[in-house]
Structure 1
Amino acid sequence: MDEVARHWVDGAIRAIEADFTRSSDTHLLKVVLPGAPGVSLYLKDESTHPTGSLKHRLARSLFLYGLCNGWIGPDTPIIEASSGSTAVSEAYFARMLGLRFIAVMPRSTSAEKVAAIAFQGGECHFVDSATEMYEASARLAAELGGHYMDQFTYAERATDWRGNNNIAESIFGQMAAEPHPIPAWIVVGAGTGGTSATIGRFLRYRRLPTRLALADPEASVFHRHLADRSVRASDAPSSLIEGIGRPRCEPSFVPELIDRAFAVPDAASLAAARVLSRRTGRSCGGSTGTNMWAVARIVAGMAARGETGSVVTLLCDSGERYRSTHLDEAWLRRQGLDLTAHEDAMERFFETGEFAPPA
């Protein structure tokens, strides 16, 4: 790398660090569980990042990783395979550095996310299915002389899981003054697997007894792979829940770090997101609902056994990003989804502490 490019990289890293310094940490919200008073539930509200989702952390780490590896220079177009939130966050950082950004995504991505990418200065390149994103992204990067960010490969290694203000360190710092400061469980979804890898490694590095649960869309391969390591792909119809679940086992997913997995139907995810939004006054996207459905299973089990303790999960992004899909009754009808029974089950869980999913 020549001196001019090296000087630009120095400035780029300084700009990203300044942005981080301006951004306060995200809130840890306590959720009232009337039916399970012995269990404390907390939501790590990642929707308050500057770009509105958990993926802001990932995008920052991926840019720093690419810059420090010499992959990104002053004229490098950035290409990413993303169904939305990662692309929104990467577009934000690309614009900050004056770089062109192109997101490769399925045509089914919500209009709100497409608009958010454009708002941040990014471009969208559409493909017919999620499985086409990888090849299309690599091809675009080669054609443009750009860098394919490849979140699905680099997410688990771009973040320093030992500390350095990662999400796990943040959670445990914010839990320090709570009645049960060491959570019994942390519940996360997985898209790249970067967040679950960061938290799982941190738990082991700090020798903490907290167990890590994976909340996974029913159509995803991850829970299948955990049950049978020979299964590495799923041909099930794509999930309607954006940002988590994948049709193939991604390189960044580290199954050895997961203690338990829950397969969650799309209707359950969307219903749980609606109930949680009403209960907390915070708008929740579908992936947060996936997390909440798994939380209900865990908390109900703890309550039935008379256990006390705390459970932490993530509010990944706002439901406002899904006004034309998840929150649209006409869209739900077109998908053949009736959320009534699943919403009733979640409301009963909050009131009684018991969880009985509809058959």
Structure 2
Amino acid sequence: MPYTTATTLEFDDRLQARGGPPARHDRPAREGAVATLVVLVVDDSALMRRAIKGMLTTAGGFEVHTARDGHDALEQLGRLRPHVITLDINMPQMDGLSCLAKIMANQPTPVVMLSSLTEKNALVTLEALELGAVDYVAKPGGTVSLNLDEVATELVQKVRTAAGARLSRTRGLSARVKTGTAAPAPAQRRSAARAGIVDLVLIGASTGGPALLWDLLPQLPASLAAPVVVALHIPGSFTAGMAHRLDETCQMPVHEVDRVTTLRPGHIYLARGSADVVVARRLDGLIVKSVPSDTGHRWHPSVDRLVASARAHIEPRRLVCALLTGIGDDGAAEMSAVHAGGGRTVAESEETAVVWGMPGELARRGGASTVLPAHRIAAQLADWAC
């Protein structure tokens, strides 16, 4: 997941705008400390616990506690009431995923997962994000002591961001979808005058996106009259597994875009992570293809680049766009251009976004046709595109 650098002042303002740290941490303010964050570091490696604690302590603004495994973490959770937990994937006694599930069920707390990005761990990390973990940090390869500096800045920034995350929407999403209790968006009947007005639906998301997409995409009806292309800021090692899992739960087929692919109505196309995807037109119709990431864009797959490529081949009024939870502003500029050209755009509202960065910027620019909470977005997309 991407991140942006926030100054201490910006971070303090963000917490104060939300009334301080999350209400569940209703401890008195510490004298002489502004927005001090309590962090619980959970890792079975003593070396890693010391290293992560050192990173946060050196950065300043953190009160760091450690736990040697999932059981130890759960025992400390009620007493410490941490603002953020960093959680290792692979631990004895209780693995990170089991611990995360118990945290979210008993005392929801922003969690940043730590994992080496092997194929197996990528799938587990993806499941953690679906269950409500705010973000992840990839552990460095090689000798730990020589490579930890590679992730120090990223870890500190993601922990700070996680402290301001909203968790109410993410609790239980994975279980709700898997048991089939998520109600699909109703298929909308519309007049012949409206038929065929939408050529493409574009969705962008970042931090908090996996859990939201796991909830939203299965609600889209098979009667959707346009293809759906999704750009989610995750590594390439995640997207094949995510597409496969979504394909099992969605009403429409789901594909990872790893080659030139013809776009078909009633299909969902998930951009391959760590690269960009662009839309183009051939004689036989629209295609989408994975291309090397453009250094002119900070986040990948770039939502702005995807939308810009679509605008180059499709009239804006025939586009529908949704910008969901995420840090930064990716997608806001190009979706604003779609809106200005007569297209329809929806931004996720602050009340449900894990991080109201990307959708907030779209709303601030006046580029959103509507701003809606997460649970209303699928129905809105269906209304526009069925």
TM-score by length of 1: 0.32
Q: Which has the higher contact order (CA 8 A, sep 6+)?
A: 1
Larger helix share, 1 or 2: 1
TM-score by length of 2: 0.30
Larger strand share, 1 or 2: 2
